[in-house]
Amino acid sequence: MELLEQRIKEDGEVLPGNILKVNNFLNHQVDTNLLDKMGEEFVRLYGNVEVTKILTIEASGIAIAYPVARQLNVPLVFAKKHQSLNVNDDVYVTKVWSFTHKAFYNVVVAKKFLSKDDKVLIVDDFLANGNALNGLIDLVEQAGAKVQGVCIAIEKGFQDGGKLIREKGYRVESLAIVDKMTDDGQIYFRKNS
Ligand code: 5GP
């Protein structure tokens, strides 16, 4: 998506460790106009797919998922990150390795918000090695629900997550795919992403 790529070029910062910082419009301050347009693009891409629920993960996923859920007129559920191992029987739980914090944490969703009849579109901000996304897919499948597809704002194509998850047969749509980032801050996108 040209508009998003342009914005990443203007405001994205390349940090050591292959981290792209987009706090200016996505991860801290939020450009709601841009996110509305991103939502429209996700809805266009998944136009003829049945969806009953949007699933994302706190915190940054929520703002991206909101316009998608709004336009599709379905509930938005966000998985919660839990430090403690004390989780009860009312939740589905999965363990996720955090790329940015270098630690495991539990991710939970209340059972009452995902059922076996749900057709779920998963939304997240970044796709790197695929751990967060695998965790969200696991939660949907624990519920016996169906993953209809995945919406990612920024995929880092030089990391393996996108390839691994597509190879498992899931549809993944990323609005911008970064193929390369250099230490001096240059960001290169995959064509037609
Ligand atoms: P993965 O689990 O695919 O390795 O990483 C995805 C998760 O880690 C995303 O939910 C996102 O929060 C975080 N993440 C991974 N790479 C980046 C990055 O380059 N920039 C930012 N801001 N977050 C990232």
- 100-144, pLDDT tens digit by residue? 888 899 999 999 999 999 999 999 999 999 999 999 999 999 999
Ligand 1 in contact with 24 (CB < 6 A)? no
Ligand 1 in contact with 23 (CB < 6 A)? no
CATH code at position 82: 3.40.50.2020
Residues in a beta bridge with 105 = 96
pLDDT band at residue 82, thresholds of 50, 70 and 90? Answer: confident
| Nearest by Cα to 186 from 18, 14, 24 | 14
- Measured from the Cα of 161, ligand 1's closest atom is 3
Domain containing 109: what range? 2-189
pLDDT at 85 over 70: no
Ligand 1 in contact with 131 (CB < 6 A)? yes
The number of domains in the chain is: 1
pLDDT band at residue 86, thresholds of 50, 70 and 90? Answer: low
pLDDT band at residue 193, thresholds of 50, 70 and 90? Answer: low
Classify each residue of 98-123 as buried b or exposed e, where b means 16 or more C-beta atoms within 10 Å of its C-beta: ebeeeeeebbbbeeebbeeebbbbbb
pLDDT at 87 over 90: no
Ligand 1 in contact with 124 (CB < 6 A)? yes
> What confidence tens digit (pLDDT) does each residue in 134-172 have?
999 999 999 999 999 999 999 999 999 999 999 999 999
Ligand 1 in contact with 14 (CB < 6 A)? no
Q: In testing the pocket of ligand 1, which one of 27, 58, 60, 99 has its CB within 8 Å of the most ligand atoms?
A: 99
Ligand 1 centroid–CA 133 distance in Å is 10
Between the CA of residue 6 and those of 9, 10, 66, what are the distances in Å?
A: 5, 6, 22
pTM for the full predicted model? 0.97
> What confidence tens digit (pLDDT) does each residue in 2-29 have?
999 999 999 999 999 999 999 999 999 9
Ligand 1 centroid–CA 160 distance in Å is 12
